[in-house]
Amino acid sequence: MSKPDSTALNRQQIAKTLRLTGWVGFWTQLVLAIVSSIILIFASFTSQSANSRSTNPGTSTGLLLAICGLCVLYGSIYWAFRYTRVARQLEALDTESRPKRADTLRVIWVGAGGNLGGMLLTLLGAEAIVGGLLAKLSQSQGVLSDLSRVQFLDILVVQANINTILAQFVGVSAALWLLNRLSK
């Protein structure tokens, strides 16, 4: 009985890790992205209909950046799914269809970079939204004296941003974990 090839076992372990991490990242990011999308779509339509009475200067810029960050998140979701396809390619019997180690690492680095870029856009959007909320609060006689200026929708938009940031963080964490596993 022959001893299994250690490189084949290593390749199978890497494929298993890529597949599991890809699916966990995919589903986690997808759920958070859907919740954020629903909130931001609702907020976009609501803010357009109430545009004349809006006193929040950061809302439009913040909402735009939040939506851009969310679009990047959907790209990151695709990229997490791509990890599962790379895992499938690694398991292929045909050696020519298997990606090289450098190609696999490049896929993971691109995923990490995309998530970081999306996180940056979303953080900038959150800064603009929170700054606008502070402006709303300070328009009254004293800061924090009239909390009625902050609407429930404002809080929902902040929550959508936090969900998007968390989803991007999951993507960055998954990519860094994969890079750590592949470098061993």
pLDDT in tens, 104-126: 999 999 999 999 999 999 999 99
Q: What torsion do the CA atoms of 47, 50, 55, 59 make, to the nearest 10 degrees?
A: 10
Domain-embedded: residue 17: yes
The domain total for the chain is 1
pLDDT digits (tens, 9 = 90+) for 156-168: 888 999 999 999 9
Model confidence, pTM: 0.82
As a whole number, the mean pLDDT across the chain is 84
Domain-embedded: residue 15: yes
Judged against a pLDDT cut of 80, whether residue 80 lies above it is answered with yes
Domain-embedded: residue 132: yes
In order of 99, 132, 135, 143, 147, the CA distances from 59 in angstroms are: 45, 6, 11, 19, 17
Q: How many Å from the N-terminal Cα to the C-terminal Cα in the chain?
A: 28
Structure token digits, residue 14: 């890497």
Cα 107 from Cα 127, distance rounded (Å): 30
Domain-embedded: residue 114: yes
How many other C-beta atoms are found inside a 10 Å radius of the C-beta of residue 142? 8
Domain-embedded: residue 95: yes
Confidence band for 25, pLDDT divided at 50, 70 and 90: very high
- Which of 14-23, 49-58, 73-82 is predicted with the least confidence, judged by mean pLDDT? 49-58
Domain-embedded: residue 112: yes
Domain-embedded: residue 1: no
Domain-embedded: residue 64: yes
Judged against a pLDDT cut of 70, whether residue 53 lies above it is answered with no
Judged against a pLDDT cut of 60, whether residue 58 lies above it is answered with no
As to burial, measured by CB atoms within 10 angstroms (0-12 exposed, 13-18 middle, 19+ buried), residue 161 is buried
pLDDT digits (tens, 9 = 90+) for 135-155: 777 766 555 555 566 677 778
Which structural domain, as residue segments, surrounds residue 19? Answer: 6-182
